[in-house]
Amino acid sequence: MSSFSSFEKDKERFDVWREFLLAEELKPCGDSALTFDQFITAIELASMDAQKRVQKREELEKTGKMNEALMNIFTVASIVATLPFMGAIAGLTVASTVVAAVAGFFRMKQKDKANEKINKLLEMLCIDPELLVLIDNKLENEYLKSPDFQKELEDFVIQARSDEGIDSMRDFSQHLMDWLNTRSEYAKSDRTSVVPTK
């Protein structure tokens, strides 16, 4: 569990959180229940018409191919499919849909609309929910609109789909911290950067 108690005790210095936040305080990404490939498949399923998604599941169950990995995929897909922003991103390419979905998870946390299922999903995607609570929404939005997030994630999706190997889950928290330290408006300021200590 990440420990950010120092911030709660020091509200007056909350705006200079970067002086205190260390990479070691992030929840370790570890082994996610999903691989990145499985997450992409879950997003594809979530983008389907509900009837088609149910039909696909029934087909797999009849063939006996509904293993634990597929159960995880359909569980994630069923959560994502109910999220309000999914209707707005229908018809996009797979890569663009994944980018829009991940951005949607960030924004649900920003708006305090993330329930227990969404928080669990964030952790499966190696996104530390407590880190998102700490970072100013303006910075998060800058990150989500940046090519460092959008283009790199699209390229990662395309690469994952083009090879037959298993792609482990991307560490989104670490990517966000790297961006904060090197390419954000805070990185250009005189404030102390977030220093990885691992």
Copy the structure tokens of residue 66. 């509904």
Spans of the chain, pLDDT less than 70: 1-33, 64-66, 114, 189-198
- pLDDT at residue 28 in the model: 53
> 168: which DSSP letter?
P
Q: Phi/psi at 69 (nearest 5 deg)? A: -60, -45
Predicted local confidence at residue 144, as pLDDT: 93
Q: Which residues contact 98 (CB under 8 A, 6 or more apart)?
A: 39, 40, 43, 153, 154, 157
Return the biggest CA–CA distance within the chain. Answer: 61
Residue 3: the pLDDT is 26
pLDDT tens digit sequence for 92-127: 888 999 999 999 888 888 887 767 888 888 888 888
pLDDT value of residue 100: 92
Tokens of 183: 């390419």
